[in-house]
Amino acid sequence: MKILVVSWYMPPFGTMGALRVGKFCKFLDQQGHDVRVLSCADLPHEKTLPLEFPEDRIVRTGSLDVNAIPKAVQKLRVALFSNLPDHAPVVSRVALEAAGQPPSVGSATVSPAAQASPGLAKRTLRSLRVGYQALFNFPDPQIGWYVAATSGGRGLVDGWQPEIIFASAPPFTSLMVGRALSKRTGTPMVVEYRDRLAEDPYSTRSKTFRKKVEKRLEDWWMKQAAAIVTVSEPWAADYRTRFGLPVLSVYNGYDPDDYPADYPRKPTDPDVLNIIYTGILYPERRDPTPLFRAIRLMGDEGKSIRVAFYGANRDELTEMAAAENVLDQVDINGGVPYRQSIDHQMNADILLLLQWNNPKEQGNVPGKLFEYLGARRPVLGLGLEDGVPARILAERGAGIFVNDPALIVEQLKKWQAEKRSKGVIPLVPLSAREGYSRPEQFKHAELFLKQAAGIDR
């Protein structure tokens, strides 16, 4: 089968989206399919993922930065007002100088009007930036990729006719590119929703009007779609009802090549319980505070627990840990390459999984869950206790989801006692991860693509 994959994200750029798409391309290539990829050349991410797909079959195009103007405005805002409070009193240039606060910041000179009302000026610049982005970041900030991507895609398909186009989002600009190429070639398009657009549960802005526009846009590109792939059954059920198309739920899974059953584990101190989290944090969405509070409640017993973070925001974590007086038990590290993150997971005692404790999180099934299953370490989940990840962990006996600090204390004490008596926390049985490998999940997607393309072979 000749498959064109359209995705802004692609390894070696280190994001979960790039990881899923890259692994899917690797699987399809190993199955003998003729796969080509249309992607972006310069992403604002570190190159931390291995590329396991031939580079010569990837067309990477440039992209216009539609946010160059608001970025410049933001720099100006910082330069002018970084040292002035939002609600500074109205003062003159003479008064500022008399107080030993010259009205210049760096090489920029602050105007008398800006000095008189820095809060108003800052808010005005911010409003201009937010308004610009609301208008031009549609459907997302990557819209500047559309022209270059469709041009590069036309050059690709004019000399090579795909049998199916697989467009993966976000960013949702990818679906606009896929639609254009599908219209040009008459090739069926399968849309992949790794995250949601109009129903985005993490959106923090008021979306009454924008949500209506986003739904209209989705209806527009879905008229060209033959089928949909998404990452959980709750989302799949919603898309079936809304679009009336075949929808397949395909979990992210783990790669057995990355998580071999005989991975060499390093011995650790039996008196120290090591908890690891690999990934980013979303303020008020993925919050380790219940764990920090539990460690604080344990008093001296909690001092033998170490919680290491890799890739999360240092300032946010420092503030959270300090608030519970457990900063000495928390190690905050920068992001690490993919292979190194796997090694940290494999050598942890306990793996920490963070989700939002909100019903809106119901269909969100992070790829981190399956990496943790692949690592075969017990999982401590914080967040929605009746969500899909919580049910999977309970069904497979691979961990627990809990938010009450008192209950977390009980579980931590059990793990502490187990490690002290056995020297290690035993591995989760191999059976717990059966069915969740990427090849097992992607096999369903491969058959689904054939059906969408009307191919029997």
H-state helical runs in 158-207: 173-185
| Encoded tokens for 183 | 């219209």
Tokens 């890259």 locate to 22
The pLDDT value given to residue 89 = 41
Superfamily designation of domain 273-434: Glycogen Phosphorylase B; (3.40.50.2000)
The reply to whether 2-64+142-253+439-453 and 273-434 are identical in fold is: yes
Spell out the alpha helix ranges (H) of 139-261: 146-157, 173-185, 208-222, 233-243
CA 443-448-454 angle, to 5 degrees, is 130
In the chain, where the domains are located:
2-64+142-253+439-453, 68-136, 273-434
**pTM for this entry:** 0.87
Residue 205 pLDDT: 58
pLDDT at 247: 98
pLDDT tens profile 380-423: 999 999 999 999 999 999 999 999 999 999 999 999 999 999 99
Question: Which of 177, 200, 173, 171 lies closest to 189 in space, CA to CA?
Answer: 177
Residue ranges for the chain with pLDDT beneath 50: 86-111, 113-114, 116
Query: Which pLDDT value is given to residue 121?
Result: 66
Instruction: Map tokens 């195009």 to a residue.
Output: 61
Nearest to 305 by CA among 320, 321, 323, 283: 321
pLDDT at 81: 64
Select from 113, 141, 145, 118 the least CA-distant residue to 129: 141
d(CA 322, CA 304): 17
Q: What local confidence, expressed as pLDDT, does residue 206 receive?
A: 58
CATH code of the domain occupying 2-64+142-253+439-453: 3.40.50.2000
Per-residue model confidence as pLDDT tens digits over 293-314: 999 999 999 999 999 999 988 9
Instruction: Decide: 355 and 367 in contact? Cβ < 8 Å.
Output: no
Q: How far is CA 365 from CA 79, 169, 242, 252, 369, in A?
A: 41, 16, 21, 8, 7
